[in-house]
Structure 1
Amino acid sequence: MYHVNTSANILVIGDLMIDHYVHGDCNRISPEAPIPVVEITHETHTLGGAGNVIKNIKALACNCNIVSVAGNDGEAERVISLLAENGVDGMGLVNDPGRCTTIKSRVLAVNHQLIRMDREVTRPIEADVEDAIMAKLQGMLNDHDIVLISDYNKGLLTTSLLAKVITMCRDVGKRVLVDPKGLDFTKYKGATLIKPNRKEAGLATGINISDRQSLENACRKLKELAECESVIVTLSEDGIAIFTNDQLTVIPTKALGVIDVTGAGDTVLASLGVAIASGLSLTEACEFANLAAAVVVSKVGSATATINEINSRLS
């Protein structure tokens, strides 16, 4: 039976966005073009990207906050409102007038997604925004037990910013867990742990991960590239791999049925952070995260897992 430290404070740094869903009915084809006409019934907005990590932490009844960037627009106000709904004050948000708040709009008819439209700016943040981010971090870091970096490659986590963030965290003894993106993992140099999925690990190392030996070779190379203590690779239906102390361990999946893998990586990052902040060992934390992932992939969309749902998987 798992118990989490509900007084743990977890800080997330990463790309915050809004997931916007437009739901409707579709009963005819447009006379203007061979496309469906969707009669809108309702719309929903929820936190996405690093915001989904926040939702997963809160679902596990832990305290958290976020340092991120948004535009100086109406959607930034919506982000603040959505954070407040999740019990987060949004004091770590920096408004950048040079970019829009990232929003991904999906149009669905009878639960079938017809199109996705993204409004975003992905160029790297400017130096003044970077300075503002570091000022936010400096004011918040000592109040948190662990730092999670959620990289969606939207321009916030530049090589320069990552180096400063990881150095500041190490200087005050804060562990840093990274959910990486891209091909260059050297930008995460000095992190405590990096957590790519199998595809990301293969692309970053140039190794085709097809068996245990190639998996171990990829993990070893990732550890060298990021100069980190441990590497976790999520393997979808094959579970989670842990490479630490020069040894590879694979924990089989606990999923009973897979409905939707959307957001499972966010769940793993959040649950790893919660577990480690609660005093679990790395292996125990990965077993906990594996169970949390099994819960969310059995649901539709970017779902979350509660401690009761995780414990129910034990039986």
Structure 2
Amino acid sequence: MTNVPVKRLKEILHAFNGKQIVVVGDIMLDHFIKGDVTRISPEAPVPVVAVKKEFFVAGGAGNVAVNLSALGAKPVLVSVVGDDLGGEMLKGFLRDKNVDLRGVAEDPNRPTTQKVRVMAEQQQIVRFDRESKKTVDSSVGAQCMESFKAALKTAKGVVLSDYGKGMLSDHNIQDIISLCRKKNIPVCVDPKIDNFKKYKHITCMTPNTKEAWEGVGESPRSGEEAITELGQKILKMLDADSILITRSADGMSLFEKGKKSPSTVKATAREVFDVTGAGDTVISVLTLALASGATLQEAAVLSNFAAGIVVGKSGTATTTVEEIEGVLA
């Protein structure tokens, strides 16, 4: 990829502040229980975890909103929680991170999505989930769409963060994309495989390599030629403006409508400690950059630098404009 001048990248970063970005998708409460294992239970052949640390963070679309807030943007979240303690905790965490919750509806007929992970020595012992994967009730969905339309009046970008928990239905996916196209507002998607082919006419989709292959229903093949064929196929299938395939140590490949060959962005991470949440950071920076007037290539370069920072941190991490500026060559 043609090198983007550092001065230009900094101009884009400085334009992040105060940009309103609407995040629509599935939010969840991530609960981590960490401890040590020194013995096996006498009751059953399972490890006994002596708990040392316990904490909660916002996951899914909630983490995208937290990423945007850390970058100086004004995220507005459109989603649904249950009428339960998990929902109240999740909303509290998000408020503390300056996330606008005007579009978060409450549905007493479904639980707040929660994922509880029990960890020992950096190893996950077990995970248990509380969730409903059913499409949200039509009245709740209509309420969320009204909130979305109101927020869109002052928005500069939209993120669709799909974790397959029912917030993004066939109907509202089409409505959201159509409204964004009419207003010339960039709409970027972090896809769930089941809904992959429904995201037509978007600005950009950001699947990782595994998701990209699964999205087209093909077995993975190695080599640059295979990746090029894959990206072009997705681009055509969705009639999208662009597809950004994230490829871990191999960086990123950006496919743009009307261009025969992809642009390659080399990975910048010096040390990979934890990839958790890196995709949320990529789509946050990408959308915010596009909302700030960046080209697709400039936005991809910045999101790559941001991803390189967060994978060097432990857990579901975020980054800041200052940190990104610090790693620009």
Residue 264 (str. 1) matches residue 278 (str. 2) = yes
Q: Quick one: distance in 2 between partners of 1:121 and 1:184? A: 17
Task: Please give the per-residue CA displacement for 1:33-52, whole angstroms capped at 9, x wherever unaligned.
Answer: 12222233342111001111
Residue 215 (str. 1) matches residue 227 (str. 2) = yes
Residue 55 (str. 1) matches residue 69 (str. 2) = no
Task: Please give the per-residue CA displacement for 1:37-96, whole angstroms capped at 9, x wherever unaligned.
Answer: 223334211100111111211221221111011112121111210111101231110112
Contact 2:75 2:100 in 1 (8 A): no
Q: Runs of 5+ in structure 2 lacking a partner? A: 1-5
Of 243-252 and 8-17, deviating more is 243-252
Q: Quick one: distance in 1 between partners of 2:98 and 2:119? A: 29
Cα drift, residue 280 of structure 1: 1.6
Residue 228 (str. 1) matches residue 240 (str. 2) = yes
Cα drift, residue 251 of structure 1: 1.0
Residue 22 (str. 1) matches residue 36 (str. 2) = no
Contact 1:10 1:146 in 2 (8 A): yes
Residue of structure 1 equivalent to 2:162: 151
Cα 1:23–1:206 shift into 2, 3 Å: closer
Q: TM-score, normalised by structure 1?
A: 0.95
Cα 1:209–1:159 shift into 2, 3 Å: farther
Contact 1:15 1:156 in 2 (8 A): yes
Give 3-state SS (helix, strand or coil) of 2:198's partner: helix
Q: Quick one: distance in 1 between partners of 2:119 and 2:197? A: 39
Q: Quick one: distance in 2 between partners of 1:41 and 1:214? A: 46
Of 27-36 and 257-266, deviating more is 27-36
Q: Quick one: distance in 2 between partners of 1:251 and 1:41? A: 40
Residue of structure 2 equivalent to 1:305: 319
Cα drift, residue 110 of structure 1: 4.3
Corresponding letter in the other structure for 2:162: D
In the TM superposition, 1:1-315 aligns within 5 A as: 1=6, 2=10, 3-5=13-15, 6-207=17-218, 208-244=220-256, 245-247=258-260, 248-315=262-329
Q: Quick one: distance in 2 between partners of 1:174 and 1:209? A: 35
Identity of aligned residues (%): 39
Q: Quick one: distance in 2 between partners of 1:69 and 1:99? A: 9
Task: Please give the per-residue CA displacement for 1:126-151, whole angstroms capped at 9, x wherever unaligned.
Answer: 32222111111112111210001111
Task: Please give the per-residue CA displacement for 1:13-33, whole angstroms capped at 9, x wherever unaligned.
Answer: 111001101233433322211
Cα drift, residue 196 of structure 1: 1.0
Contact 1:292 1:305 in 2 (8 A): yes
Report the RMSD for the aligned CA atoms in angstroms. 1.6
What is the number of equivalent residue pairs in this alignment?
315
Contact 2:117 2:126 in 1 (8 A): yes
Task: Please give the per-residue CA displacement for 1:222-246, whole angstroms capped at 9, x wherever unaligned.
Answer: 1122121111111111011111132
Q: Quick one: distance in 2 between partners of 1:124 and 1:241? A: 33
Cα drift, residue 183 of structure 1: 4.5
Corresponding letter in the other structure for 1:4: H
